Chain A
């Protein structure tokens, strides 16, 4: 059961907006026939004020006093919008407190003078069942009118999700893009010296909050991938001394091999529907790409057969094609094939080596690592055209897409020390920023927007 239960009492006055919003959140991104590159107009960042959400008659909850939550929710909304790179935000620090009546009747004159273009106001109520009702309103200050409103019932411990949902609604409304803040990241937490790195499976919210270590570091863990429903994680572990892919069940804490094989298995990916697992396996030193049913009962299907290294792979959002990496031409390059392995064709021709292709959830682009001297993250269309490099550092590697296909995370390795960190960049190559992690981080894998 989703922790997000729509509040029927709010329904009457939120109905208009929520109908559209629910439809938008549930529908998978449409596959565009004509790839297009949408650029955020970063020269015109919009200024948004986010005063603390009002808590009428504040009460204590397991997550703290509701008045404090009102401020914290505003802080998360503000931080989310700012981190997107599209907006400048003010508040809640430095902004005056607003009253409950003001939530639905903003003082536009006051905000015009700040000056801000957009205003986010809201409230936090604690219901008889102990759950929070969070109302979130977006106003266009210039027009003096309401743009949108949104309401959620959440258990107090999920207050950050209410903030992400509110920020997502505002982001979507103002940019026309799909939401992405209310999502999670699986990654590898790294510590220790370069020749004896401790690598632990860990998960966190898309903004780095709610961090949790999953494995204890006794066995090296690599390359995690959240299942589309967030119930399990595919990852590589050396727990039995060999590199092998396991499915880790988050609720039970149990894991199983994806396939009984004598050879090592690595580079796991889910199909978009979560029914199929793509992986690479070496047999007598030769690596090929395979797929197998996620149920655990299927027979592996071998998709490639070149004598070179065929490795990695990522499904197109419709599940019909797979982009993967092969050195059959003599160096690592990117190839596309049908999901049954037919029609394999190279798409990268820009010079240098190309690795770690990752199909955008919007279908329009493929992200990759380009190796030509330094390692840089870039994107190209699925036919190989329109290549762009988004980062420029000594070693940037392994892009993963935000669920809306408009932001990319990757990891950066420092020359010499080997220290790693997780970074985020938008499709213009602007707004690059480091994600906060408790220790070093690598191999980020972004999951879909939470149900």
Chain B
């Protein structure tokens, strides 16, 4: 399978589940909050949400503006290159970031479960930095971007199959409030 096919299949799979299972705004396969960040609460924070209102510059706003899965780019096994598809996703993120120049982000790098623990930590670092480097190359100030690797510790998809692994090899952009 080509990378594109895998990515499409992975995203299609989740999209279908989302359409079938929940309202259109709710994205329930977000990774859990990293320690030291509080983006995980954003989706449930009544102050951020208001009554159906989304606070401009918030994580919710970011997710809405970049579109479904626009917060993440996916990678092939052991790879960390940012291809044209990934660049388009990161471009949209950069556009949003340009609107909120005081907002900082964390780029989380992840690996699938089919790797050894330490290597996956290193691989997650490579992926987070690849995404960061592209964002910087298109004008986002490097000082606004923090990176962290979770290796294989925080899978997004829970299966042990190629579709799940394709979703888990990812770099996810998360706003820091």
A205 to B141, CA, bound (A): 51
B159, CB-defined interface residue at 8 Å: yes
Chain A residues positioned under 8 Å from B92 (CB to CB): none
Q: Which of the candidate stretches A89-97, A126-134, A191-199, A400-408 sits at the interface with the other chain?
A: A191-199
Chain B interface bracket (under 10, 10 to 19, 20 to 34, 35 or more): 35 or more
Over the window 95-130 of chain B, the binary record of Cβ atoms lying under 8 Å from chain A Cβ atoms (1 yes, 0 no) is 000000000000000000111111101110110111
A239, CB-defined interface residue at 8 Å: yes
Do A416 and B159 have beta carbons less than 8 Å apart?
yes
Do A309 and B117 have beta carbons less than 8 Å apart?
no
Over the window 52-77 of chain A, the binary record of Cβ atoms lying under 8 Å from chain B Cβ atoms (1 yes, 0 no) is 00000000000000000000000000
Q: Known contacts being A196-B32, A264-B121, A309-B122, is A397 close to B116, with CB within 8 Å?
A: yes
B34 touches which one: A241, A309, A355, A418 (CB < 8 A)?
A241
CB of B27, distance to nearest CB on chain A (Å)? 14
Residue on A with the closest CB to B116? A355
B78 touches which one: A195, A311, A331 (CB < 8 A)?
A331
B155, CB-defined interface residue at 8 Å: yes
Chain A residues positioned under 8 Å from B118 (CB to CB): 223, 266-267, 280, 311-312, 325, 355-356
Residue on A with the closest CB to B29? A195
Interface size on A, residues (CB 8 A): 45
Chain B residues positioned under 8 Å from A220 (CB to CB): 35, 153
Residue on A with the closest CB to B80? A285
A222 touches which one: B117, B155, B158 (CB < 8 A)?
B117
Interface residues of A (CB under 8 A from B): 193-197, 199, 219-220, 222-223, 238-243, 264, 266-267, 280, 282, 284-287, 309, 311-312, 325, 327, 331-332, 355-356, 369, 371, 375, 395, 397-398, 413, 415-416, 418, 443
B122 touches which one: A241, A311, A415 (CB < 8 A)?
A311
Q: Known contacts being A239-B35, A285-B126, is A195 close to B121, with CB within 8 Å?
A: no
Chain B residues positioned under 8 Å from A331 (CB to CB): 78
Do B119 and A309 have beta carbons less than 8 Å apart?
yes
Residue on A with the closest CB to B121? A266
CB of A206, distance to nearest CB on chain B (Å)? 22
B16, CB-defined interface residue at 8 Å: no
Do A398 and B117 have beta carbons less than 8 Å apart?
yes
B149, CB-defined interface residue at 8 Å: yes
A19 to B36, CA, bound (A): 56
B130 touches which one: A242, A285, A371, A418 (CB < 8 A)?
A285
Do B36 and A240 have beta carbons less than 8 Å apart?
yes
Chain B residues positioned under 8 Å from A194 (CB to CB): 155, 158
Chain A residues positioned under 8 Å from B78 (CB to CB): 327, 331
Do B117 and A223 have beta carbons less than 8 Å apart?
yes
Do B148 and A241 have beta carbons less than 8 Å apart?
yes
Do B37 and A241 have beta carbons less than 8 Å apart?
yes
A312 to B122, CA, bound (A): 10
* B32, B37, B117, B153 — most chain A CB neighbours (10 Å): B117
Residue on B with the closest CB to A373? B114
Chain A residues positioned under 8 Å from B121 (CB to CB): 243, 264, 266-267, 311
Q: Known contacts being A284-B129, A285-B126, is A195 close to B154, with CB within 8 Å?
A: yes
* A197, A238, A285, A312 — most chain B CB neighbours (10 Å): A285
A-B contact pairs, 8 of them (CB 8 A): A194-B155, A222-B153, A240-B35, A267-B121, A285-B126, A286-B126, A287-B125, A356-B116
A265 to B73, CA, bound (A): 24
B149 touches which one: A267, A282, A397, A415 (CB < 8 A)?
A282
A299 to B133, CA, bound (A): 29
Do B113 and A309 have beta carbons less than 8 Å apart?
no
Chain A residues positioned under 8 Å from B159 (CB to CB): 416
Do B116 and A197 have beta carbons less than 8 Å apart?
no
Which residues 17-53 of B sit at the A interface, judged by CB distance below 8 A? 31-32, 34-37
B2, CB-defined interface residue at 8 Å: no
Do B35 and A418 have beta carbons less than 8 Å apart?
no
Do B35 and A241 have beta carbons less than 8 Å apart?
yes
A264 to B108, CA, bound (A): 13
Chain A residues positioned under 8 Å from B158 (CB to CB): 193-195, 418
Chain A residues positioned under 8 Å from B149 (CB to CB): 243, 264, 282
Chain A residues positioned under 8 Å from B80 (CB to CB): 285
* B119, B156, B160 — most chain A CB neighbours (10 Å): B119
Chain A residues positioned under 8 Å from B160 (CB to CB): 415-416, 418
A56 to B3, CA, bound (A): 74
Do B119 and A355 have beta carbons less than 8 Å apart?
yes
CB of B133, distance to nearest CB on chain A (Å)? 8
A433 to B110, CA, bound (A): 32
A285 touches which one: B31, B128, B156 (CB < 8 A)?
B128
Residue on B with the closest CB to A287? B122
Do A309 and B126 have beta carbons less than 8 Å apart?
yes
CB of B20, distance to nearest CB on chain A (Å)? 20
A312 to B128, CA, bound (A): 20
Q: Known contacts being A194-B155, A195-B155, is A397 close to B31, with CB within 8 Å?
A: no
CB of A246, distance to nearest CB on chain B (Å)? 14
Residue on A with the closest CB to B168? A195
